[in-house]
Chain A
Amino acid sequence: MVNEEYIVQQAVDGSQGAFTQLYDVYFDRIYRYVYVRVRRQDVAEDLTQEVFIKALKAIGSYKMGKTPFASWLFRIAHNQVIDHVRKHKKGLETSLDEAPPSVGAEDPVAIIEQRFEVAELKAAIMELSPAQQEVISLRFIADLPIAEVARVLGKSEGTVKALQFNATMSLRKLLAGRI
């Protein structure tokens, strides 16, 4: 199996096929992260697409070994979300007629149950502070290591650990009885 570093190097050297491989690997994770942050499917789709187009245009300037590729990519996603939040602060309110998220299940009952689980998660995350939301999204949803979360957010690892702990404590209360 070809390791990711090799594929990234190929993409940096201009291989479109290599970039497409990275796109396939990270697409779902980036979408998931963006969706949880903006909480709207249509916006998440737009932003996810923009993240990869920006990454494609900037991949030539990516420095191997300096930053893990995942951190670099999620940094782009993070900046996209931040830009969007600044521009559309009111648009982040979850409306009742919002399209439900697309979930993996095919059975209608399972689809409804999964959408309910996701809706609960969205509601719980909305109760956190913005900094806690960022940490939880990158740590538990994007599944990045603590060092990479710190790098993406430009914070120290200690700060990120504290935010992670406090956010989890809050979520424990918010999701009580549903865990």
Chain B
Amino acid sequence: MARQIEEIFNECIERLRQGDSIENCLANYPEVAPELEMLLRTALNVNWRASMVRPRPEFKAYARAQLRNVQYAMSQERQPSRQPRLFSLRHAWVPALAMVVILLFSSVGTAAAAANAMPDEPLYSVKLVTEQVRMSFAFSDEARADLNVKLAETRSQEIATMATHGKTEQVIVVTDRLAQHIEAVEQAIRKVEEAKQAPPPPKLAITAPAPAPTPAPTPAQPPTTAPTVPPPPPDKPKDATERAGVQQTPSQESTRVTVAEAEKLRRTLKATISKNLTVLENARDKSPEQSKQALQKAIDLAKTRQLQWQQQPDTVPPVKPGTQPPTTGPGQTTPNPQNVPDSTGTKGSQEPTQRPDSQGSGKTPVTPSPTTPVSPKGPSSYSPPSTSTTTPPSSSTDSTNNTLPTVPSSRVLALTKQTLLR
């Protein structure tokens, strides 16, 4: 009997799944109808109660954006099978091929159309590919940094447009890309910082002895004076280094060149961030409610970077010959890449990009604001206590310490995502 009612119950459940009614099932099995009815109503009740459970809309949007990130990362990973050949001849035929592709695109107007494509449009992927091609033509660090600055401006425009159209998901994804462009520029500057603070080579006075004119050489007598430094050319102005009696080495001169580039990049990046901020803030009033929160996070990201860069001096002081790198050099102020949250948002060991706490978790996120810049204390409350990606506040506020901002873009992005889905 028990076996029989198990079968009947299961058959009726299947019938209910197909759209049949309880009454029809009971009519077919009058001998067990009372018990069967209670069982079927229980099953329907369980199904009905469970149907009330729904994922939070913010979590759905966040999870979808994360899925996109993983899809993008996977599509990038599929490319390495071709990379060895590409890289081996990178400077030979890849740019030429890229030029052909660009010409092809431009000839049919695709690239032109794609240039204005927005993230929710089919041609947007063409736009991203075109940008990658442009990046492949940028052979120097400076050129790549310049291009990243321009692309950061493009991303800001896209965020503003998407927010205005209520495309919250695209706002989140493009904010991620914006942070990556800013990070790329900062890395270029960081490289210069590291080169600048490397120990200088030995002084020329030791390595470049010049024969001093002596009136009467005495072969038996050993030289008693140290080699002298030749005088600088008369048409070349003496700088502080030379006035100090030490000749500048070629490596120091090259460092000075790159420092000048870094200064230029600093100024450009600061101007770009300010411009981006204006664009994003202008879009805030035009955006529907559902996108305002995501847009605000992009604004906070720009504001945070702006504040941190405002704390940095515009110029990089020249390297004093013979001085050792300062104790608060890049090795200390630059976050360890292993501890930096993954900008793609995939779940890492530190889980910094994990979706924010759900309601009622008791944690109060700190949203960066113009008056309250992101400090190591506030946002790190989302991170595990062991995460040490930040530096003491003194190092970031010291105006004489010419180091990069202490909070990387990827970290800020992770915090932005966390506060977004609050």
Contacts and interface: CB of A to CB of B under 8 A. Distances in A.
B216 to A, nearest CB: 84
Interface string B383-412: 000000000000000000000000000000
Given A45-B358, A56-B71, A169-B39, A140 B17 contact: no
| Secondary structure call for the A interface | helix
Contacts of A178: 45
Contacts of A23: 64, 67
A48 B347 CA distance: 13
A44 B53 CA distance: 11
A119 to B, nearest CB: 9
Contacts of B42: 168, 171-172, 175, 179
How many residues of A sit at the interface, in one of the four size bands?
35 or more
Interface string A24-68: 000110011001100001101110111011001100000000000
Given A42-B361, A99-B358, A103-B53, A121 B63 contact: no
Give the dominant DSSP class at B's interface. Answer: helix
Contact of A164 (B10, B63, B66): B10
A175 B45 CA distance: 9
Interface residues of B, number: 45
B70 A146 contact: no
A74 interface: no
Contact of B67 (A28, A53, A98, A114): A53
B59 A45 contact: yes
A61 to B, nearest CB: 14
Contacts of A121: 46, 49-50
Interface string B38-61: 110111011101111111100110
A97 interface: yes
A179 B48 CA distance: 10
Interface stretch (B1-9, B129-137, B206-214, B238-246): B1-9
Interface of A: 16, 19-20, 23, 27-28, 31-32, 35-36, 41-42, 44-46, 48-50, 52-53, 56-57, 97-105, 114, 117-118, 120-121, 136, 139-141, 143, 145-146, 161-162, 164-165, 168-169, 171-172, 175, 178-179
19 contacts: A31-B54, A31-B55, A32-B51, A32-B54, A36-B50, A41-B56, A42-B361, A46-B354, A46-B355, A53-B66, A53-B346, A57-B70, A103-B53, A105-B52, A118-B53, A162-B6, A165-B5, A171-B42, A175-B45
